[in-house]
Amino acid sequence: MSGRFKGRRAVVTGSSRGIGAAIAERLAAEGADVVITARTLEKHDHLAGSLQETAKRLEQYGGTVGIVVADLTDEGDRARIIPEAQAALGGPVEILVNNAAAAIYAPVEGFPLKRRRIMFEANVHAPLDLASQAIPAMRAAGEGWIVNLSSGSAKHWTGPPFDIGVTGATITMYGASKAALNRETNGLAAELHGTGIRVNTVEPRAAVMSEGAEQLVGGKLRPDQIESMEQMVEGTLALCDCPADFTGRICVSLDLIDELGLTVHALDGTPQ
């Protein structure tokens, strides 16, 4: 454990399980004080993992760990996250990782409006709202890191014929929300350039088999279509302390590891 983030204050959304919980653990292992937030405090109705379980893992590293239970699809709920995180951390948020996402797969034709709204609330509106709450303190400090978790599903298929993979076109509206997040990230970075606030997205090159991914595509992918949780986290952490001119990027985890010559570490911060 290097102490790379010693004294830094971070918020990670969607951290009751999966990629968010792993990012939060690695930040804590590297010395950060971390607030974790999600809907599941104790137990989900069908997925493993909870905020309490994540907090227990983070506490072993000795830093401050705070919990904010909130539903990111609810405007009022998400308005509480940054203020409550600042209170728990004893100071302004310096690193914001917008990992939480709603992934609903269904045919494009007739995709229910209610479900489209849920995805765009969680995947597009919430990241911008949380960033907007955190930015004033970041601007005052002259530095800050905002990292949004995106998806390769944002890219268009070429064709015909179309190679639409194991999920078919049912991933389209989720991908549309992530394409919007990428554009939002790039525009916010351009607007904030010169303030010291970095805004980037990172997406996996291949599937990361979190609890949710296991339910959606488990058993349908070849080994070469999967990357490890540790690789995804390594790519994400590179954007949590990147230099000021590294901003507005739409990054791919494994490509970023290669570009920067990074060593992949375990979640406890030890080299693999």
- 178 in catalytic set: yes
Which of 15, 16, 50, 151 is an active site residue? 151
- Domain membership of residue 268 (yes or no) is no
Percent of residues, the chain, with pLDDT higher than 90: 86
- Tell me the whole-structure pTM to 2 decimals: 0.93
Sign of CA dihedral 105, 110, 115, 116: positive
Give how many domains the chain has, as a whole number.
1
Region 252-267: mean pLDDT is 97
CATH code assigned at 66 = 3.40.50.720
Is residue 161 reached through a cis peptide bond, with omega within 30 degrees of 0 on the bond before it? yes
pLDDT at residue 218 above 60? no
Residue range(s) defining the domain that contains residue 93: 9-260
- Domain membership of residue 227 (yes or no) is yes
pLDDT tens-digit map of 41-59: 877 665 677 999 999 999 9
- Domain membership of residue 102 (yes or no) is yes
- Domain membership of residue 86 (yes or no) is yes
Separation CA 50–CA 28 (nearest Å): 17
- 155 in catalytic set: no
pLDDT at residue 220 above 80? no
- Domain membership of residue 150 (yes or no) is yes
Separation CA 184–CA 201 (nearest Å): 10
pLDDT at residue 22 above 70? yes
Confidence tier at 272 by pLDDT (50, 70, 90): confident
- Domain membership of residue 265 (yes or no) is no
pLDDT at residue 31 above 80? yes
- Domain membership of residue 113 (yes or no) is yes
Which of 150, 153, 177, 253 is an active site residue? 150
Region 162-185: mean pLDDT is 96
Radius of gyration of the chain (CA): 18
- 105 in catalytic set: no
Which of 15, 16, 177, 178 is an active site residue? 178
Region 190-211: mean pLDDT is 89
- Domain membership of residue 138 (yes or no) is yes
- 153 in catalytic set: no
Which of 15, 16, 174, 210 is an active site residue? 174
